[in-house]
Amino acid sequence: MRFIDWLSVTQEHPEGGLPVVGKEMITKYDLQTGQILRDSPNSKPLEGSYSTYLLVRCDGSKVSVEGNPSRWQRPDNLFGLQTFDDCIQVYNLVLKDLGLPPEL
């Protein structure tokens, strides 16, 4: 029996307009020209049950989620989730709570 212990998912929303989610905003700029290349948030850690966490980030158009969905908010996390679809369901609940669109 296999379990999914870590899953990283990213999805682009070219229309944009999504809320920015992260812990801190990072500005990258060219040292030679001084030109600002981009502003982007780093991942926001969300703590769940039994010291597990997920990392979520959205820059307004690109949404990323990573972590161990098998342990997220489950008191019986000894046995993990076995399918990709079950993991995406967990991530979609987290994204919905943050006002972000679902993955896949």
pLDDT in tens, 15-54: 999 999 999 999 998 999 989 888 899 999 998 877 788 9
Distance, in Å, from the CA atom of 73 to the CA atom of 56, rounded to the nearest integer, reads: 16
- C-alpha to C-alpha distances, 32 to 27, 29, 35, 39, 76, nearest whole angstrom: 15, 9, 8, 18, 54
In the predicted model, what is the mean pLDDT of the chain? 89
> What pLDDT, on a 0 to 100 scale, did the predictor assign at position 72?
82
The pTM assigned to this predicted structure is 0.84
